[in-house]
Structure 1
Amino acid sequence: MTTADVRLATTDDVPEITRIQLSTWRTAYGDALGTAVNTLVPEEVSASWTEAVEHPDTDVYVAVEGTTTVGFCVAGPAPASEVAAADGSLPDDADRTGLIASLLVEPRWGRRGHGGRLLGTAAAGLRRRGAERGITWVVQSDSASLAFYRSVGWNPDGTVRILDTGERTIKELRITGTLDLRLEHPETSDLD
């Protein structure tokens, strides 16, 4: 039986994180992103991941099954621009809000609890940094990710943003919830 685990990423993990991001985006978000997903340059994506792994305010986690990296999650303090209301006002807990900037599990490793373990580990890390609440953004058409976050008690807060890929626009919903997660059966989570 192989062991599943989550650990902090190092720069040695950057090639696998890059591979997972590019392959998952092409598979899961190809329709939403259009041809823009094919213009991503692996070296540039890797450079961005190296910066994220080395950034002192960011925690990058990887999910592993046996010796294989199967997913990743990036978490840190939520910038004011991410937590602000549409009118720019900040909630009272803005300085105690963490951001899950990305959480991806490679589709072929899905439904094994990796997404739940990644989110649970990231939530614990954010709590250690003083956060009490978390937010993330999910593409409105991504029903699997929306169901996953709802399963842990995170829900849309009514804030929407539109991203322009140059070819089409993508509507994202801001999702929020407590960092005191209760992952009773992470092996059945929809995202993973």
Structure 2
Amino acid sequence: MADVGVRPARRADAGAVADIQVRAWRRGYAELLPADVLERVTSPPALDAWRERWTQAVTTPPSPRHRLLVAVASDLVVGFAAHGPAEDGDLDATADAELLTLLVDPVHAREGHGSRLLAATVDLLREDGFRTLVSWAFEGDEVLRRFLGSAGWAPDGTARDLDMGEPIRQIRLHTDITPDTTPDVTPAQ
């Protein structure tokens, strides 16, 4: 197996991150978003805009608690995750964080990169003192919902509709990320 891992994104990774985003959206959102919307957000001009936004995420993040991580395999960026303090009005930005996005290049799907990205994200957020992690998912995005569900996430009852020429429903998922403080009790031999 190739060398794999997760590391903080570098400025030079922004192009690969944007490329992965566009490929993953084209593959994963084709059935979820109106075709004209998907075309617009994955077009060549949009790709350029995404590259600039991801460059800014690395070079001038909104806060020190906003991070962009990349999954690598043999020095090739194959996925990414972005997180920061939660911004929803009903959440506490000092205790609640948001997984803003987690995407893996479709060519490298089902190789464990998403799980590594999620674990690294949780580790960093715990270090920053967060206790809960939330993320928004399209209601019909069964792949993401199953992935997060397998890691202990569940809907928290909050939903919203995005206006994309037609309303597209999103639900908010959450999970407790407080470290397990149960003492390890091993019977004496």
Q: How many Å apart are 1:98 and its aligned residue? A: 0.7
Q: What CA distance in whole angstroms lies between the structure 1 residues aligned with 2:179 and 2:103?
A: 18
The answer to whether the 8 Å contact 1:71/1:104 transfers is yes
Q: Which has the higher helix share?
A: 1
Residue aligning to 1:172: 170
Partner of 1:22: 22
Unaligned 5+ runs, structure 1 = 85-89, 183-192
Secondary structure of the residue aligned to 1:31 is coil
Contact 2:23–2:106 under 8 Å retained in 1: no
Residues 100-143 of structure 1 show CA distances to partners (whole Å, capped at 9, x for unaligned) of 00001122211111111101101111111110110001111111
Shift of 1:180: 4.8
Structure 1 residue 58, shift from structure 2 partner: 1.2
Larger gyration radius, structure 1 or structure 2 = 2
The 2-side partners of 1:164 and 1:50 are apart by 27
Secondary structure in 1 matching 2:2: coil
State the identity as a percent.
34
- 1:31-180 → structure 2 map (5 Å cutoff): 31-34=31-34, 35-40=36-41, 41-54=46-59, 55=61, 56-81=64-89, 84=90, 90=91, 93-166=92-165, 168-180=166-178
Paired residue type of 1:18:
A
Indicate the SS of the match to 1:33. Answer: coil
- C-alpha distance in 1 between matches for 2:58 and 2:159: 28
User: Structure 2: how far apart are the matches of 1:180 and 1:120?
Assistant: 13
Unmatched tracts of structure 2, length 5 or more: 181-189
Between the aligned partners of 1:46 and 1:181, the Cα distance in structure 2 is: 35
Tell me the amino acid that sits aligned with residue 69 of structure 2. Y
| CA distance in structure 1 between the partners assigned to 2:113 and 2:69 by the alignment | 11
Secondary structure of the 2:31 match is helix
Q: Aligned partners of 2:119 and 2:179: how far apart in 1?
A: 7
| Contact 1:120-1:181 at 8 Å conserved across structures | no
Q: Contact 2:9 / 2:69 at 8 angstroms: preserved in 1?
A: yes
Count of aligned residue pairs for this structure pair: 172
TM-score by length of 2: 0.85
Instruction: Give the RMSD, CA atoms, in angstroms.
Output: 1.7
Q: TM-score, structure 1 length as denominator?
A: 0.84
